[in-house]
């Protein structure tokens, strides 16, 4: 089903109630650039065999809510850009997203929530990131998020964190004290314009070769505390 409705930019509603997806393995770009799509009911979808969901909702910029609580993602190995540029999305239920059984998760979280600027809450408590290598721009410009719990993130294999939390301008708390950055080679603009952050414990961080503008346009209060910690 890859690119099935790709660039159906005038469609406001698609009836998928008769779809049988039992044997489908690839849904990449399925609804990408459906910029007028206002509602989407995928409750009948069986995603047990899906391995690729990359770009599936990319630039669905008119969607305000999306319930994927029934999605089974145990076989998925690519979720990159999955919700990127869903700029009107206010409610997103991905509580069932469980990546525990995924063997190869390379790039799975790259640009995953990029520019989801209307998203107010995000439950990623079921995410298993043991094998993730790229988290670049994962939450870039999630500018309506007031909090984000990444306490369960394992980052020992991550090599890229550039722009990961950049432009999260309402984020007041963020616990990355447990992050293992020993393999990270790019932290450029990682916390850029997180202007509401007042504290950030990165005392255990091993700094990447490329970490310029890591705290660009952050508050002076945060920058001073970070300097003291390190």
Q: Which two three-digit tokens encode residue 186?
A: 């790019």
SS3 label, residue 222: helix
- pLDDT-based confidence at 108, cuts 50/70/90? low
Of 183, 119, 193, the residue nearest 163 (C-alpha)? 193
- pLDDT-based confidence at 229, cuts 50/70/90? low
Q: What percent of the chain has pLDDT over 70?
A: 94
pTM of the model: 0.89
Whole-number Å distance between alpha carbons of 76 and 56: 12
Whole-number Å distance between alpha carbons of 190 and 187: 5
Backbone angles phi and psi of 227, in degrees to 5:
-65, -40
What average pLDDT is seen over the chain? 90
Q: What separation in angstroms does the CA of 160 have from each of 41, 102, 180, 228?
A: 34, 20, 12, 25
pLDDT at 228 over 70: no
pLDDT per position as a tens digit, 26-35: 999 999 999 9
pLDDT per position as a tens digit, 122-169: 998 888 888 888 899 999 999 999 999 999 899 999 999 999 999 999
pLDDT at 56 over 60: yes
pLDDT at 177 over 60: yes
Give ∠ CA 106-107-113 in degrees, rounded to 5. Answer: 145
pLDDT at 230: 60
Backbone angles phi and psi of 145, in degrees to 5:
-75, 125
pLDDT at 99 over 70: no
pLDDT at 182 over 80: yes
Q: Convert 47-71 to b/e letters by CB count within 10 Å (16 or more is b).
A: beebbbbbbbbbbbbbbeebebeeb
């Amino acid at each position: 089903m890859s690119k099935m409705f790709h660039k159906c930019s005038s469609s406001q509603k698609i009836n998928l109630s008769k779809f049988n997806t039992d044997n489908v393995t690839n849904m990449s770009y399925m609804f990408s650039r459906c910029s007028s799509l206002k509602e989407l009911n995928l409750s009948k979808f069986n995603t047990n065999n899906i391995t690729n969901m990359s770009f599936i909702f990319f630039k669905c910029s008119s969607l305000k809510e999306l319930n994927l609580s029934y999605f089974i993602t145990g076989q998925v190995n690519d979720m990159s850009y999955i919700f990127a540029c869903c700029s009107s999305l206010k409610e997103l239920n991905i509580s069932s997203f469980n990546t525990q059984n995924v063997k190869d998760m390379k790039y799975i979280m790259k640009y995953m929530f990029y520019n989801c600027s209307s998203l107010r809450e995000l439950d990623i408590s079921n995410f298993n990131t043991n094998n993730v290598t790229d988290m670049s721009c994962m939450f870039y410009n999630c500018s309506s998020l007031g909090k984000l719990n990444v306490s369960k993130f394992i980052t020992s294999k991550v090599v890229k964190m550039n722009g990961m939390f950049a432009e999260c301008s309402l984020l007041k708390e963020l616990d990355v004290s447990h992050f293992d950055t020993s393999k990270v080679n790019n932290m450029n603009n990682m916390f850029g314009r997180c202007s509401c952050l007042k504290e950030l414990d990165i005392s255990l961080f091993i700094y990447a070769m490329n970490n310029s503008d890591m705290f660009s346009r952050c508050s002076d209060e945060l920058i001073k505390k970070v300097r003291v910690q390190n």
